[in-house]
Amino acid sequence: LVRLRARLARSQNVFGQGLLGLLSSDRLDDDTWDEIEDTLITADVGVTSAAQIVSSLRTKVKVQGTRTPEELRALLREELLAQINPELDRAVRTGPHGDRPAVIMVVGVNGTGKTTTSGKLARVLVGDGRSVVLGAADTFRAAAADQLETWGSRVGAPVVRKDEGADPASVAFDAVARGVEDQADVVIIDTAGRLHTKTGLMDELGKVKRVVEKKSQVDEVLLVLDATTGQNGLRQARVFAEVVNITGIVLTKLDGTAKGGIIIQVQRELGVPVKLVGLGEGPDDLAPFDPEGFVDAILG
* 37 near ligand GDP (CB under 6 A): no
| Closest separation in Å from C-beta 224 to ligand GDP | 6
Nearer to ligand GDP (CB atom), residue 16 or residue 113: 113
Task: Reduce the secondary structure of the chain to three states and give it as a string.
Answer: CHHHHHHHHHHHHHHHHHHHHHHCCCCCCHHHHHHHHHHHHHCCCCHHHHHHHHHHHHHHHHHHCCCCHHHHHHHHHHHHHHHHCCCCCCCCCCCCECCECEEEEEECCCCCCHHHHHHHHHHHHHHCCCCEEEEEECCCCHHHHHHHHHHHHHHCCCEECCCCCCCHHHHHHHHHHHHHHCCCCEEEEEECCCCCCHHHHHHHHHHHHHHHHHHCEEEEEEEEEEHHHHHHHHHHHHHHHHHCCCCEEEEECHHHCCCCCHHHHHHHHHCCCEEEEECCCCCCCEEECCHHHHHHHHHC
253 is in an annotated binding site: yes
Asked whether 225 and 251 are in contact (CB, 8 A), the reply is: yes
| Closest separation in Å from C-beta 255 to ligand GDP | 5
Number of residues binding to ligand GDP, judged by CB under 6 A: 20
By beta carbon distance, the residue nearest ligand GDP is 278
Q: How many CB atoms lie within 10 A of CB 75?
A: 17
Considering only residues 181 to 200 of the shown chain, the ones binding ligand GDP according to CB under 6 A are: 193
Query: How many Å apart are CA 24 and CA 17, to the nearest integer?
Result: 10
113 is in an annotated binding site: yes
* 52 near ligand GDP (CB under 6 A): no
| Only segment of 4-12, 173-181, 214-222, 275-283 that touches ligand GDP (CB under 6 A) | 275-283
Nearer to ligand GDP (CB atom), residue 120 or residue 215: 120
| Closest separation in Å from C-beta 78 to ligand GDP | 28
193 is in an annotated binding site: yes
Nearer to ligand GDP (CB atom), residue 72 or residue 222: 222
Candidates 279, 287, 297, 299: give the one binding ligand GDP (CB under 6 A): 279
Nearer to ligand GDP (CB atom), residue 23 or residue 144: 144
* 113 near ligand GDP (CB under 6 A): yes
* 11 near ligand GDP (CB under 6 A): no
Provide the phi-psi class of 299: left if phi over 0, else alpha when psi is between -120 and 50, else beta.
Answer: alpha
* 111 near ligand GDP (CB under 6 A): yes
68 is in an annotated binding site: no
Query: How many Å apart are CA 244 and CA 199, to the nearest integer?
Result: 11
Hey, which residues does 25 pair with through a beta bridge? none
Candidates 12, 52, 112, 267: give the one binding ligand GDP (CB under 6 A): 112
Considering only residues 122 to 181 of the shown chain, the ones binding ligand GDP according to CB under 6 A are: 144, 147
| Only segment of 6-14, 203-211, 252-260, 265-273 that touches ligand GDP (CB under 6 A) | 252-260
252 is in an annotated binding site: yes
Binding-site residue numbers for GTP are: 108-115, 190-194, 252-255
Residues that bind ligand GDP (CB under 6 A): 108, 110-116, 144, 147, 193, 252-253, 255-256, 278-281, 285
